[in-house]
Amino acid sequence: MNRHDQLEAQRESVLSQMRLIRSMKRGTLSIRPEKVRRKGRKEPVLLGPYPLFVRREGGRTVGRRLRSPEEVAQVREDIAAYNRFMGLCKQYVQAAEELGELERAQAEAGAVKKGLWSRSSKARKSRG
């Protein structure tokens, strides 16, 4: 199998892996305590820690508190799937870049070979 076929196979493999990802989320999961004001106290009290899903939306950081362990597990899986997807995107870009360079190099090599000899019969006779 030559390099061109290997790169094509790698691209197809990456695309098929991307198709298997059904759900993903951009963002992070953090475990943070929450400051709460208590009646009759001047200073807020730290409660928790609580799981928080945080991401950027429209130039703002948005956080959402997760209520159940199942929800935390799902968010973890979705974030891992997003990170996997981004890794696959990088692999795809690398394979496509290398494939493009390889195809251009082959085209240039073919063009150089064709241009070495003149097609006129006078030029061929004068060389010989």
Query: Highest mean pLDDT range out of 44-58, 72-86, 111-125?
Result: 72-86
Measured distance CA(122)–CA(118) in Å, rounded: 9
With a cut of 90, say whether residue 64 has pLDDT above it: yes
Mean per-residue pLDDT, 53-65: 94
The per-residue pLDDT for 27 is 96
* Of 59, 58, 71, 57, nearest in space to 29 by CA: 71
- pTM, entire model: 0.73
Q: In what order do the strands lie in the sheet with 28-36?
A: 28-36, 45-57, 60-65
